[in-house]
Amino acid sequence: MSLVAELNGELAGHILFTKAAVGGTEVLALAPLSVEPRYQRQGVGTALIARGHEIAAELGYPYSLVLGSNTYYPRAGYVPAARFGIEAPAGFPPEHYMAAKLLDSAGPVSGPVRYAKEFGL
């Protein structure tokens, strides 16, 4: 799932969510999130994440994963993935590997993450 944000008729930001799996559960992985520098610190990234989460939940995805800033992504509901039993891939710093529960009804997950082959992981 790919979304863009426009401000003043210009591209302001972009987000991409890709299918992944934890155990037998299909989830989404957020990467990348980018915001044009002149539009940073104006809520564009936060809005893209929120809208992406909303659409993902409507589509039935229970969790979203991200490898990123542990000061930025918690504002969007991300917590260390280990809290859900999700194992960070080898070489990923666990404090920066996070997950957000998108559905209240999401069942438990555990185990390693399997990314799409394009990720090369």
Torsion angle (degrees, nearest 10) of CA 78, 82, 84, 88 = 90
Q: What is the pLDDT of residue 43?
A: 96
Domain tally for the chain? 1
Give me the domain span that covers residue 44: 2-119
Q: What is the pLDDT of residue 118?
A: 78
Residue range 38-89, pLDDT digits in tens = 999 999 999 999 999 999 999 999 999 999 999 999 999 999 999 999 998 9
CATH number at residue 107: 3.40.630.30
Q: What is the pLDDT of residue 117?
A: 85
Residue range 87-114, pLDDT digits in tens = 989 999 999 999 999 999 999 999 999 9
Return phi, psi of residue 7, to 5°: -135, 130
Q: What is the pLDDT of residue 48?
A: 98
